[in-house]
Structure 1
């Protein structure tokens, strides 16, 4: 059994693996296990990972999946097979400073929390530009307040810059949604914030997001169908987040935000998806439902927090043809 397991899903990232796995091998934290999950790569990535890890001097597991299942399922598999007391999810094309894991481990053990997060930086290899994003959080916040800030997008907790107690995740049945390819990171974090009793934050920028053209979050997806599919996955994640908060958040205010902001936004995104994919009949059917219209109008309860959701809802309810036309030629996140 290791103290910390780092779970790294890999899919056709062969050329990036020396930098990614190398940054983990060079960590100054001793009791570390690297769990690489190859998601049926077709570029020889599994063999490259095996070569790097076998001579890296670290405990490791290399899991080879027989078919491509997506990042969410690959992470879940890695979590199940990891041996660490603590776990961390690491993207297969990123890097970290040498003291990354040590800092998070010190924070979570000293504070006795369910998770610890740190700041991050972005690095563009083409331009050489590096931007720092320290994780500055007001002291003394309750978990309810942390959840509220995350719901309102006022607190950016980097998913891959977070160390979790494994028994907290498994005991709370927290996992990624299998098959989800967009919005899965925020959904996972929302579940964590609903269930956690205590957390801690390290302001230092220790995780390095490497920006490149292959990134799903950065690349211009030329295939419109794929882009619309990602939008749908993101929308479905919004519905699941709202429902999870309503059922599991301990505080009243996060549950109100789920009903008055997240759920109306999810329905508006679903309307937008129907427009993007040319499904006018389903668009009209959804909009004709009294229950759906009432749900959208509940966004007035969050008007002074997120007025754009209520205004977008008014546009959909009062000017449906214009709303449909606006989104029929659009494909977004």
Structure 2
């Protein structure tokens, strides 16, 4: 009998996953793709609630091949995923968390999308159940895109279809030294190394389930772990991309999603010692990667807080965070016949503070919501044209390819 390579290896890392595991595995059984085309590799990471026993019961009756591996607790999701990846035989792999579930046509649609377009990563539409889920990238299905010209950089969870040859060629594995953000590191690297990314937006492929008991496979971690995650992602981006617009586009993600929340409402509850420590942890990251091109891509209150962090102005930061926490609206200051709009958050044009006006300058997208603003069409056109020219420079493209090759 000739063994046929499966299309998809579904890798499930499970820790204390009952009773959510029941619906998770049922969603795998309900897949419309031929069961002969998939295999399941489930790794019980030292559970004590019957997770391992239920996986073995499932393996004994399932219509598709199921491999169950039971091991001592590793302390995080990376270990089980890496173990599963090492056993995978499919052309593609899909990482399924044990408390989530698949949409019925998920694997069939994602495999078809990858095969049709020759892409290495496929994102399937995600829907939150008792929790939020990313939304900005599901407007329409896209056969081929990349991380620079889409919003996929804002969904870096591991629950995607990856071409296994891509992962093996670059020896890609999850970083077991990280206890949060390990999936962001893995997925961003896959985006950057991939020969194209596809998006399936017309079918809910993944249900992201919020557990009622508050437990999740991924540990929330302390603020120090969040800075570790941001540092790792920024370092990866810098290693694979030279300085320039492409790097700046991607640096927005760790600054906005990982770093900025540390200087949001929770900052007001921090002790003075923790506040100083956060500033110390942020300092090397802002010195290396914070610049005007990253800053201008953010909204004013986001830019202002990170500017104060980057310049070490802890004395001014609390006022701004309190203003944002209270959901106050900054007054608009229109100049140049309505073509320039500043948002007067705390310390705007306060001489002792010395914060440049440019920090408070609203970009066109943010400014359009204010009555009286008149967009400078000519200026915007010139800026966009200049950015396109910079991106098209042969030297820049050559350097980008050289950077990726060196990192490979």
Runs of 4+ in 1 over 6 A off after TM superposition: 129-134, 263-275, 324-327
Closer/same/farther in 2, CA of residues 300 and 80 from structure 1, 3 Å limit: same
Q: 1:184 aligns with which of 182, 185, 188?
A: 182
State the alpha-carbon separation in 2 of the partners of residues 265 and 116 from structure 1. 22
Give the CA deviation at 1:315: 3.0
- The answer to whether residue 26 in structure 2 is matched with residue 22 in structure 1 is yes
Closer/same/farther in 2, CA of residues 207 and 280 from structure 1, 3 Å limit: closer
Give the CA deviation at 1:191: 1.0
Question: Helix, strand or coil for the counterpart of 1:14?
Answer: coil
- The answer to whether residue 106 in structure 2 is matched with residue 100 in structure 1 is yes
Give the CA deviation at 1:39: 0.6
Closer/same/farther in 2, CA of residues 305 and 47 from structure 1, 3 Å limit: same
Instruction: State whether residues 99 and 211 of structure 2, in contact with CA within 8 Å, keep that contact through their aligned partners in structure 1.
Output: no
Instruction: State whether residues 232 and 270 of structure 1, in contact with CA within 8 Å, keep that contact through their aligned partners in structure 2.
Output: no
Instruction: State whether residues 245 and 258 of structure 1, in contact with CA within 8 Å, keep that contact through their aligned partners in structure 2.
Output: yes
- The answer to whether residue 301 in structure 2 is matched with residue 311 in structure 1 is no
**Structure 1 alignment gaps of length 5 or more:** 220-225, 328-333
State the alpha-carbon separation in 2 of the partners of residues 20 and 80 from structure 1. 22
Aligned to 1:175: 173
Aligned to 2:138: 135
For residues 1-333 of structure 1, the aligned pairs below 5 Å read: 1-30=5-34, 31-124=37-130, 135-137=138-140, 142-146=145-149, 149-151=151-153, 153=154, 156=155, 159-160=158-159, 162-203=160-201, 204-215=203-214, 229-249=221-241, 252-257=244-249, 262=254, 276=270, 279=273, 283=277, 286=280, 294-295=287-288, 298-306=290-298, 307-316=300-309, 317=311, 319-321=313-315, 323=317
Aligned to 1:223: none
Instruction: State whether residues 95 and 207 of structure 1, in contact with CA within 8 Å, keep that contact through their aligned partners in structure 2.
Output: yes
Instruction: State whether residues 271 and 286 of structure 1, in contact with CA within 8 Å, keep that contact through their aligned partners in structure 2.
Output: no
Give the CA deviation at 1:181: 2.9
Q: Select the structure of larger CA radius of gyration.
A: 2
Aligned to 1:330: none
Instruction: State whether residues 44 and 71 of structure 2, in contact with CA within 8 Å, keep that contact through their aligned partners in structure 1.
Output: yes
State the alpha-carbon separation in 2 of the partners of residues 103 and 157 from structure 1. 20
Tell me the number of residue pairs that the alignment of Structure 1 and Structure 2 aligns: 310
What is the TM-score when the length of structure 1 is the normalising length? 0.77
State the alpha-carbon separation in 1 of the partners of residues 216 and 282 from structure 2. 34
Instruction: State whether residues 239 and 263 of structure 1, in contact with CA within 8 Å, keep that contact through their aligned partners in structure 2.
Output: no
Give the CA deviation at 1:166: 0.6
Give the CA deviation at 1:277: 7.2
Closer/same/farther in 2, CA of residues 157 and 47 from structure 1, 3 Å limit: same
Closer/same/farther in 2, CA of residues 198 and 322 from structure 1, 3 Å limit: same
Deviation track 1:100-151 (CA, whole Å, cap 9, x = no partner) reads 11111111111111111211222349xxx999988235858752524x6344
State the alpha-carbon separation in 2 of the partners of residues 245 and 131 from structure 1. 21
State the alpha-carbon separation in 2 of the partners of residues 264 and 118 from structure 1. 23
Give the CA deviation at 1:188: 1.9
**Structure 2 alignment gaps of length 5 or more:** 322-408
Question: Helix, strand or coil for the counterpart of 1:256?
Answer: helix
Deviation track 1:183-221 (CA, whole Å, cap 9, x = no partner) reads 2222222111111121222112121122222355799xx
Instruction: State whether residues 9 and 74 of structure 1, in contact with CA within 8 Å, keep that contact through their aligned partners in structure 2.
Output: yes
State the alpha-carbon separation in 2 of the partners of residues 8 and 250 from structure 1. 35
